[in-house]
Structure 1
Amino acid sequence: MRAEERQHRILVLARQQGRVEVAVTAADFGVAQETVRRDLGELERRGLVRRTHGGAYPVESAGFETDLAQRVTRHVEAKRRIAAEAVRLLGEAETVFVDEGYTPQVLAALLPGDRPLTVVTASLSTAAAVADSTNITVLLLGGRVRTRTLATVGSWACAMLAGFVIDLAFLGANGISRELGLTTPDPVVADVKAKALEVSRRRIFLGHHSKFGVSSFCRFAEVGDFEAIVTDTGLSVVEAHRYALLGPQVLRV
């Protein structure tokens, strides 16, 4: 098998499974582990995967996006810590936008139920996470439901958001970089995120460190649009400081 073909098959496996392990892949392909490491190095150089200890996971792009089922199995403990820290920034907010994605979904389930709160979301999963709370009113944005993420998109969702003034938005992204801002693969998803950003008084980004330094197809925000960034300690202190110089407080948990 030529290196190009092997690398293509490794990338397909990474996208199907959410991650590939060096040892397992080497055994499956009948090659040395060092060969797989070189393949992963080349895929990382091309911006298709991100290396981790013992393996790699795919980087989302205009042509590829992980679905919700994969997101709920990757970096779960770190995402829970991020969500718990982000909830502490709620303050006196009475209306909150909660973005699509697994980390925002975890955050929604942690919102306090002992005070009146209105949650606006495009995510069916997030709406379901808080719908049974007595003191939380859930407003689900209308529009076309994306099967990959179970979130609504389109002109209806944006038109609904345009009629709101929201105290605080908790937003995620497929990638965040100091140079290119916050990005996502799909233009209609970017439209909803941008509108939520526009109508919210406060904005907080929450995301795993693997999102940092990554860019996708559609930009919807700049780093300086946010008052805070909440991530895990996988983002180095030095890199966190560089993001903080652009305006937001950066919290590593």
Structure 2
Amino acid sequence: MSLFSIERRKVIVDHARETGRADVSELSKLLKVSAETVRRDLTSLEKSGLLRRVHGGAVPVERLGFESDLATRSTRMIEEKSRIAEATVKHLENAEAIYIDEGAIFQLLADRLYPESPTTVVTNSLAIAVSLAGRPNVEVISLGGRVRAKTLGAVDFWAIEMLETMVLDLAIIGANGISVRRGATVPDAAIAEVKAAAIKQSRRRILIADHSKVGADSFVRFAALDDFELFITDDGVSPEHADELRASGLELDLA
């Protein structure tokens, strides 16, 4: 591979990580190369585990060396995440004690949470705790611990110790990578431990994520797919991935 190819692919990865997406047409103009050259670069970067191909381009894969911050996530795939959040509300089934995970998609879920009966929401997300505080029929329990700057989520011993004292009706959990082979994965062991603790303490578990996470693998596994009763994603997931997930026994709701 030529030096120019190496430099070009570095620009592509940096652009994807900064903006949350690498579009073929945009990169073609930016790099002054053909769309076919960009597609070859994206294919190579996907094989290297740095990007994940989606329709019209690619998105960054979040592993040990890279994790996008909450601000970036809040601008990525908003329409898809909004549909997922709306679909998730329909599956709460009068749960009285709910764990809501950290992340942009969970903020959208919290924005739609207006229970008719008293509901306790446990979360490790400072942003979600603040947005739900004072909401009618909602009591918020914010987990303690070290707050991660990228996601404003609390992790480590204190968060896990609090979760271990609770009995939850439902945990709504996200992941950076979702695959039949490796299950649900995230880029940080501290995040994985909190998610695993919430799953352990919950009677029901729902996994939610946009389609760009399907088929991807991050660094640390925190759950098998059969730990969840349902996976809610958007209808952008490929038929091949959807069939593979269903064949594993996981129920899908495509929003």
Q: TM-score, normalised by structure 2?
A: 0.94
Q: How many residues align?
A: 253
Residue in structure 2 matched with residue 161 of structure 1 by the alignment = 163
Q: 1:32 aligns with which of 31, 34, 38?
A: 34
1:61, 1:217 within 8 Å by CA — same for their partners in 2?
Answer: yes
Q: 1:24 to 1:238 in 2, by over 3 A?
A: closer
Per-residue deviation, residues 174-233 of structure 1 (Å, max 9, x unmatched): 011001000000000000000000000000001111111111111000000001111111
Aligned-residue offset at 1:55: 2.4
CA RMSD of aligned residues (A): 1.4
Q: 1:109 to 1:221 in 2, by over 3 A?
A: same
Task: Describe how 1:89-128 pairs up with structure 2 within 5 A.
Answer: 89-128=91-130
Task: Describe how 1:138-157 pairs up with structure 2 within 5 A.
Answer: 138-157=140-159
Q: 1:244 aligns with which of 236, 243, 246?
A: 246
> Comparing 135-144 with 7-16, which one deviates more in the overlay?
7-16
Aligned-residue offset at 1:237: 4.4
Q: 1:242 to 1:20 in 2, by over 3 A?
A: closer
Q: 1:226 aligns with which of 228, 234, 252?
A: 228
Q: 1:12 aligns with which of 11, 14, 23?
A: 14
Is 1:182 paired with 2:184? yes
- Matched-pair identity in %: 47
Task: Please state whether the residue corresponding to 1:119 is helix, strand or coil.
Answer: strand
2:156, 2:190 within 8 Å by CA — same for their partners in 1?
Answer: yes
Task: Please state whether the residue corresponding to 2:204 is helix, strand or coil.
Answer: strand
Q: 1:57 aligns with which of 31, 56, 59?
A: 59
Per-residue deviation, residues 6-35 of structure 1 (Å, max 9, x unmatched): 111211111111112223323322323322
User: Which AA in structure 2 matches 1:136?
Assistant: V
Task: Describe how 1:187-206 pairs up with structure 2 within 5 A.
Answer: 187-206=189-208
User: Which AA in structure 2 matches 1:228?
Assistant: L
Unaligned runs of 5+ in 1: none
Residue in structure 1 matched with residue 86 of structure 2 by the alignment = 84
Distance 2:30 2:248 in 1: 45
> Comparing 106-115 with 200-209, which one deviates more in the overlay?
106-115
> Comparing 156-165 with 107-116, which one deviates more in the overlay?
107-116
Task: Describe how 1:199-218 pairs up with structure 2 within 5 A.
Answer: 199-218=201-220
Aligned-residue offset at 1:4: 1.3
Q: TM-score, normalised by structure 1?
A: 0.95
1:15, 1:66 within 8 Å by CA — same for their partners in 2?
Answer: yes
Distance 1:230 1:95 in 2: 20
2:59, 2:212 within 8 Å by CA — same for their partners in 1?
Answer: no
User: Which AA in structure 1 matches 2:17?
Assistant: R
Distance 1:92 1:32 in 2: 53
User: Which AA in structure 2 matches 1:54?
Assistant: G
Is 1:235 paired with 2:237? yes
Residue in structure 2 matched with residue 3 of structure 1 by the alignment = 5
